[in-house]
Structure 1
């Protein structure tokens, strides 16, 4: 099934401007119909969802672009794509560890305030 840009924006939740920007940046390469209008497919939906997931994990746009370029080059880049994702996974785990430490410190401070307030009552 193919989708016009208008339908695709409704499916993905992205604006047409964002989709055009992604295309300009080399993140997506939609097909074109006989009238040279962009048409999107199910695989484009999956790819956009993956891009958004990478953004949510704080992958820099430059790395997403590098991954996209490799993806569009085909299966000969599987190892490079895997390496890129493994590097990013390590980054995410480090960030998770920092967040967990910050949560612990925050919880300790909250407990100190709660105890101080209880002692005043």
Structure 2
């Protein structure tokens, strides 16, 4: 159950979580399908993380800009 909560917390759609759980119930023969689902989810998370990291860097640049501007006053 903890893993299901982790999938939800990382943005996996409920329909995919249900599909993952149903595959899990079918046993180890569904391991390749579950592996593919997790790899695709990982790929989406990494892209999202890269995007957020880039956005954070830009926000930090603006913070430094405004700090310098504020110090001039």
With the shorter chain as reference, the TM-score category is over 0.9
TM-score by length of 2: 0.96
1:62 aligns with 2:20: no
* Bigger share in strand: 1
- The structural deviation recorded for 1:55 is 1.0
Number of residue pairs matched? 73
Counterpart residue number, 2:50: 97
Counterpart residue number, 1:50: 3
TM-score by length of 1: 0.59
Cα distance in 2 between the residues matched to 1:96 and 1:82 = 21
Cα distance in 2 between the residues matched to 1:76 and 1:64 = 18
SS in 2 for 1:59: coil
Counterpart residue number, 2:67: 114
Structure 1's unaligned 5+ residue stretches are: 1-47
1:78 aligns with 2:36: no
Looking at CA atoms only, which structure, 1 or 2, has the larger radius of gyration?
A: 1
Cα distance in 1 between the residues matched to 2:9 and 2:59 = 23
